[in-house]
Homo-oligomer: A and B are copies of this chain.
């Protein structure tokens, strides 16, 4: 079944609202194996809405329209769709009573324009809305399915999940067409997109079902593996086969699946290894602490993060020798190593990790440009320290520094970090 999702609303077109509805509907549909072929957004304009709806009705089997069902003059979806399909609008008396009730309960008077929301095209089912006044509409006509849903996500999403999805499942089963689409994401760190592609080129070349799509995401690359099959079990079996092949080719470059982020993968490893961690952050300003503490259960291994932003804090709190800072500068291999060593001592943890650098936009010199960062790790088995030159805005440098620090912890947990 081919689907088009049409978002109706000038606020979407002008960028004042993000079209999360199309995203959320597409995610739901993919679990039924219904492919979204087009997403379209059009404003509160009758002629263009008509043009777009006619085209969708012609080129797909399932047209889902979101928005434009409100009570005001610029809400045109119900009337336009009904007119194009040459169906009469009929009053749904049960919903009209519901509307009256809704306004009475809120001690507001119901205006005449609200009564439009009780009108449905002949032959359509009304989908009750328990969070607002605009009901949805589910219509089967001329071998096509047309679904109208209210725009606000908190009204649309439960309506879609509870009322539209079961009806679609039933239609697909009736046509013997209930295919399922499943997908899994493999998250890769330490390899660029083209290097990754060249490592699994042979697998990519012969893909058809499942399909495998690489996607660069900041310093990571994600591989989306998608399979279509008559059942979830079969689709997942196809995926697993591809995942096994890819894993064999990429090994530890894959750190996690689906929505597991690098901080979560690292947390799991450190908890399994029963290693505790303390951080001394300078230029990353607490961002790495923040990322690690976003993961529930991080208190098991994460003991403290000292954001020693000033030189006074580096000497006062971490006990660094002021002479060391003066001789080498706060952004230096020596200071990074001393920070990692000291934070481990002070906090009594297995691991001490430090980040010191120049996040910019000011503070750079020809010798020590913006982005220059040292990251050091002190462990019971030795130490590691490296110089990096990150690029981008202040926030991007903080992101890259914290991401690289996590990558080092990941390598450590795999016993792949060369300690001195």
Contact = CB atoms under 8 A, between A and B. Distances in A.
B40 A193 contact: no
Contact of A37 (B13, B23, B30): B13
How many monomers of this protein are in the complex?
2
A70 B391 CA distance: 20
B43 A40 contact: no
Interface string A305-340: 111111011001100000000000000000000000
A162 interface: no
Interface stretch (A236-244, A294-302, A410-418): A294-302
Contacts of A391: 131
A16 B181 CA distance: 13
A317 B346 contact: yes
A290 B290 contact: yes
A38 B4 CA distance: 14
Contact of A304 (B27, B35, B216, B308): B308
A293 B358 CA distance: 12
A197 interface: yes
Contact of A224 (B13, B16, B298): B16
A54 interface: no
Interface SS, A side? mixed
B299 A286 contact: no
A299 B310 contact: yes
Contact of A286 (B38, B72, B287): B287
A13 B26 contact: yes
Contacts of A309: 289, 293, 298-299, 302-305
27 contacts: A12-B23, A12-B39, A13-B35, A14-B26, A14-B30, A15-B25, A15-B27, A18-B19, A18-B23, A19-B22, A72-B197, A113-B197, A131-B391, A154-B392, A154-B396, A285-B292, A286-B287, A286-B293, A289-B309, A293-B309, A294-B395, A294-B398, A296-B361, A303-B310, A305-B307, A312-B347, A312-B348
Given A73-B204, A286-B307, A296-B362, 7 more contacts: A14-B26, A18-B20, A111-B197, A131-B392, A285-B294, A286-B287, A296-B394
Interface of A: 7, 10-20, 22-30, 35-44, 48, 52, 70-74, 106, 108-111, 113-114, 131-132, 152, 154, 183, 185, 192-195, 197-198, 204, 213-218, 224, 226, 278-279, 281, 285-290, 292-294, 296-299, 302-310, 312-313, 316-317, 346-348, 359-362, 391-392, 394-396, 398
